[in-house]
């Protein structure tokens, strides 16, 4: 089983255990809302634009609510368990695109519940997450108002910020302004970059004001 399928299955198992009204880290969304989002993302390409484009968000929200109205929660979770659309037809694309998507949303549900702790990940998944963070930091951190240097606990650094470069141990990023170093494991850095700063167990080093701005910034794709 690929990690994409493993995270999908684990998330849907958690959906089943928690029911439709459990909180998530996605602001304003319950587990029912998140399950509907996952189904929309794979099976309603006409409504995907609103996920990233605010002008289209109203239509996306109406389609998502329509999915909830048409499908009882257990049925919707059952649909989410199976890769849909192109992801169902092209397993390599499911692996390439959905590994991080389902990992992050799995954590969105896990970390919204009391008593959560970070998972110990398989070494290959941990390495894959770090590679994706390294490659995508420039994009994910593009809205940061300060320079950010991501340092993986145990070694390796990648710098990024608005308009900045990414690579190796160079700082890169903005030409001027405050700098904040963010240190943590690969999964914690991923969640930080995806805008879950409050729930990512990372160490932030830098000027207090810059750290505050980094924590409050809207990060992610």
- Same domain for 137 and 202, yes or no, is yes
**CB of 12 closer than 8 Å to CB of 77:** yes
Q: What tokens appear for 186 in the block? A: 């690969």
What's residue 14's pLDDT? 98
Q: What tokens appear for 110 in the block? A: 């896990």
- Same domain for 67 and 148, yes or no, is no
**CB of 219 closer than 8 Å to CB of 193:** yes
Q: Rounded to two decimals, what is the model's pTM?
A: 0.89
CA diameter of the chain:
52
Candidate ranges 49-63, 69-83, 136-150, 169-183; pick with highest mean pLDDT: 69-83
Domain that holds residue 186: 125-216
Q: What distances in angstroms separate CA 47 from CA 33, 64, 89, 124, 146, one per listed residue?
A: 15, 9, 20, 34, 33
- Same domain for 69 and 167, yes or no, is no
- Same domain for 24 and 57, yes or no, is yes
- Same domain for 160 and 103, yes or no, is no
**CB of 14 closer than 8 Å to CB of 109:** yes
Q: How many domains is the chain built from?
A: 2
Which of 22-33 are b and which e, b meaning 16 or more Cβ less than 10 Å from the residue's Cβ? bebbbeebbbbb
Q: ∠ CA 138-143-148 to the nearest 5 degrees?
A: 55
Q: Once rounded to an integer, what is the mean pLDDT over residues 44-65? A: 88
- Tell whether the model's pLDDT for residue 177 goes beyond 80: no
Q: How far apart are CA 136 and CA 103, in angstroms?
A: 16
């Amino acid at each position: 089983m690929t990690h994409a399928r493993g995270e999908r299955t684990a998330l849907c198992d958690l959906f089943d255990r928690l029911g439709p009204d459990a909180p998530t880290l996605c602001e304003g969304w319950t587990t029912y809302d998140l399950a509907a989002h996952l189904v929309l993302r794979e099976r309603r390409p006409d409504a995907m634009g609103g996920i990233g484009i605010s002008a289209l968000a109203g239509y996306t929200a109406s389609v998502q609510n329509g999915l909830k109205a048409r499908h009882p929660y257990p049925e919707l979770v059952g649909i989410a368990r199976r890769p849909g659309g192109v992801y169902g037809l092209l397993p390599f694309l499911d692996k390439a695109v959905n590994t991080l998507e389902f990992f992050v949303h799995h954590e969105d549900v896990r970390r919204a519940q009391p008593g959560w702790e970070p998972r110990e990940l398989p070494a290959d998944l941990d390495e894959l997450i770090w590679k994706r963070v390294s490659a995508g930091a420039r994009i994910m951190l593009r809205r940061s108002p300060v320079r950010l240097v991501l340092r993986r606990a145990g070694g390796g650094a990648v710098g990024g910020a608005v308009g900045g470069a990414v690579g190796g141990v160079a700082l890169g990023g903005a030409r001027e302004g405050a700098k904040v170093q963010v240190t943590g494991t690969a999964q914690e850095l991923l969640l930080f970059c995806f805008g879950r700063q409050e729930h990512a167990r990372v160490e932030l080093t830098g000027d207090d004001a810059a750290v505050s701005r980094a924590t409050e910034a809207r990060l992610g794709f």
